[in-house]
Homo-oligomer: A and B are copies of this chain.
Amino acid sequence: MNKNFIKYSWEEFEKLNLHQKVPLFNHGQTPYHCLIAQQFDRNFLDHLYHITNVIRAISKSKVGALFLQTILSDKRAMLYFMQPSTRTYLSFKTACQILGIQTSDVRDSSISSEVKGESSEDTIRTFSSYVDMIIMRHPGEGMAEKAAWVLEHSERPVPVLNAGSGKDQHPTQALLDIYTLRRSFENFGGLQGKTVLMAGDLMRGRTVRSLAQILTLFEGVKIIFSSPENFKMKQDVLNILRTQNVNFIETSEFKKYLPEADAIYMTRVQNEHDTDSFKSEQSFPDFSLNFDDLSKLKEHCAIMHPLPRRQEIDPKIDNDPRAKYWRQERNGMWTRAALMVIIFGKCNEVLNYWSDISKQVNHTAKANP
């Protein structure tokens, strides 16, 4: 339980800005509830990605996979998904399976007690009665924060992981995006100083909003925001970049910037957020990547997409080595598993296992040179 958190009434808590909320969501320097991208600093990312790499390496053998399944085998998680989702749902569920966490799903409000008039606070407390972690996606702005607040005021403050809430936050997506960028540039000097071209519906894409903010943690990164005039990145994010002295430009041209980009982050039109007064088309053909465009790209350029895609990337591009979106998808599973290991304080168990294995391998290698 976070002793500071419990002091705030909901009304007081709501008035805090994101940076004031961070210490309430964290235990020390690391996330306990994982709710907003502002919780991630550079140290945390470095640590998380190290754990991610170790988990991936361990999982390659059956004996390693079975070891991982013992890490959290006494834990249970709830997947509470009140919005359509395949990727994020499967990614979190699989991360749980990798670590031996047993899961329950609530994905359809018509078969749950909400139809009997239960408040969302009571629903969350009920979940916490049965599980050790709640992973939630909810259309309501701030619902994940509300859940964390409710639980911190109860006797069972289990961690809440935000798998997408409202139009704004989807913090674990940012984790996997940065991880994918870093792996893509492993042999090209790292993410520092790189140019990232983001294209499409930047106004409503919660992935690009989070990603842009986390990129401020990496020195010398330049961002090119390329979108139709009515779908530009919002000022709140741009102001943050200005404060951090991040180099960025806004443009309604896309193709012109392809040769310059070290990474291209394509996004889909988010028309699920259309309103009666604001309708968008299904896709923006001028902000799409065609097979012929490949020739204009740098040799190490990383092509990314949070998926699902519509017409933004020609499927013929899928087999080009620069296409990283399918790996990006799998990276989500690994970074989320690493996040859970950190939240439950099991890093040493994982690292010690890996260190023992590595010694054995070296020892055997020396004995059989």
Contact = CB atoms under 8 A, between A and B. Distances in A.
Interface string A104-117: 10111011111111
B126 A87 contact: yes
Contacts of A282: 117
Contacts of A90: 78, 104, 126-127, 129-130
A76 interface: yes
A272 interface: yes
A104 B111 contact: no
Given A117-B308, A308-B117, A85 B111 contact: yes
Interface stretch (A32-40, A65-73, A212-220): A65-73
Interface stretch (A91-99, A140-148, A244-252, A253-261): A91-99
A116 B310 CA distance: 8
A155 B318 CA distance: 10
Interface stretch (A16-24, A157-165, A294-302, A326-334): A326-334
- The complex is assembled from copies of this chain, and their number is 3
Contacts of A73: 66, 69
Interface string A45-88: 00000000000000000100110010001101010010011110
Contacts of A272: 116
A125 B93 CA distance: 17
A293 interface: no
A102 interface: yes
B329 A268 contact: no
A73 B97 CA distance: 11
A282 B131 CA distance: 30
Contacts of A131: 94
A308 B153 CA distance: 19
Contact of A104 (B78, B94, B110, B127): B94
Interface of A: 62, 65-66, 69, 73-74, 76, 78, 81, 84-87, 90-91, 93-94, 97, 102, 104, 106-108, 110-119, 121-123, 125-127, 129-131, 153-155, 268, 272, 282, 307-310, 315, 318-319, 326, 329-330, 333
29 contacts: A62-B74, A66-B73, A66-B74, A78-B90, A84-B115, A86-B112, A86-B126, A87-B113, A90-B127, A90-B129, A90-B130, A93-B104, A94-B131, A97-B102, A107-B111, A108-B111, A116-B268, A116-B308, A117-B268, A118-B307, A118-B309, A118-B310, A119-B315, A121-B315, A126-B308, A129-B326, A129-B330, A153-B319, A155-B326
